[in-house]
A and B are shown apart, each in its own frame.
Chain A
Amino acid sequence: MPKLSVWTVRSALVALVVGTLMGALMLAAKAGMAPPMLMRLLPVHQEIVLLGWLVQLAMGVGYWILPRVDGARPRAWLAVVAVICLNGGVVAAALGAWFGLAGAVVCGRILELVAAIGFVGHFWTRIRLGGLINRLSAEEIAARRS
């Protein structure tokens, strides 16, 4: 597994634990066994579980298993930028939702948009070119290289 996938999947697992902890606190609050103000965690919980856990895990695994182009992952820097932006975006949007800072939520969403564009740019190249190379014969590849 490439280093970027390791860190992305680990980050997703951290988000899963944090998101589940928040969910557990909210259920306890709903049951009257924890302070009711914990119900305000709902948008933070949704942000962390949906984007921090599910989307990030898909991206980390995708970076690992999607077709490579000639044995390499072209434009890997796009995926690196996307992972950084996704995590920054989730943290900013979650903190913004908890503290009621609309500006932080907007910044978080913009970072998440940049992350999505980065992932699309990276994966698009790999799927298009990886599939193309799989269809070409070894002779055609050699001819194109020369």
Chain B
Amino acid sequence: MPTVSRAFILTGLLYLALAMVAAVALALGAAGLGVSPALYPVYIHLLAVGWITQLIFGVAYWMFPGRVRDPGAGERVVLWSTYALLNVGLLLRALSEPLLSRGGAWPAVLTASAICQLIAVVLFVGHLWPRLRAR
């Protein structure tokens, strides 16, 4: 399995655990223990982006046809940038969204998180698209 796929999948597993922690925190909040329901969209995206989408990215890079055994520098930059931007974006979101009501720099951080994740997705789709060919 390529190193970048391992990184995607292992990080995805961490997000799965983190999402379950968020789920417990939300349940405690619903029981009146002070956790903000503003955490709910973060929980959903830890699962949908951090776990499922990241797992798909890792497996798709590894298993889809057309992968070269020794990728060039350009391809490595694209893949590792995807990994970094997706995870930095998601962590910034998880941090800033529940704190948005405090103002300050948090709105800018939340917007930056969205831009990071969007660029990551575009980079990965740009990489995978030419590999999808019928045979």
Contacts and interface: CB of A to CB of B under 8 A. Distances in A.
Chain A partners chain B: yes
Interface of A: 1-3, 6, 9-10, 13, 16-17, 20-21, 23-25, 27-28, 30-33, 49, 54, 57
Interface of B: 48, 52-53, 56, 64-65, 93, 97, 100, 106-108, 110-111, 113-115, 117-118, 121-122, 125, 128-129, 132-135
A17 B126 CA distance: 10
A53 to B, nearest CB: 8
A27 B52 contact: no
A18 to B, nearest CB: 10
Given A1-B133, A6-B134, A24-B118, A16 B125 contact: yes
A10 B133 CA distance: 10
A9 B107 contact: no
A48 B93 CA distance: 21
Chain A's interface: helix, strand, loop or mixed, by majority? helix
B132 A1 contact: yes
Contacts of B133: 1, 6
A33 B135 contact: no
A54 B56 CA distance: 9
Complex A-B, nearest 7 residue pairs according to Cβ-Cβ distance, in ascending order: A31-B107, A24-B114, A27-B114, A3-B134, A31-B110, A20-B121, A24-B118
Contact of A24 (B52, B107, B108, B117): B117
A71 to B, nearest CB: 14
Given A20-B118, A21-B118, A30 B129 contact: no
A10 to B, nearest CB: 6
A2 B135 CA distance: 6
A49 B48 CA distance: 9
Contacts of A17: 121-122, 125
Contacts of A57: 56
A13 B113 contact: no
A1 B115 CA distance: 32
Contacts of B118: 20-21, 23-24
A9 B132 contact: yes
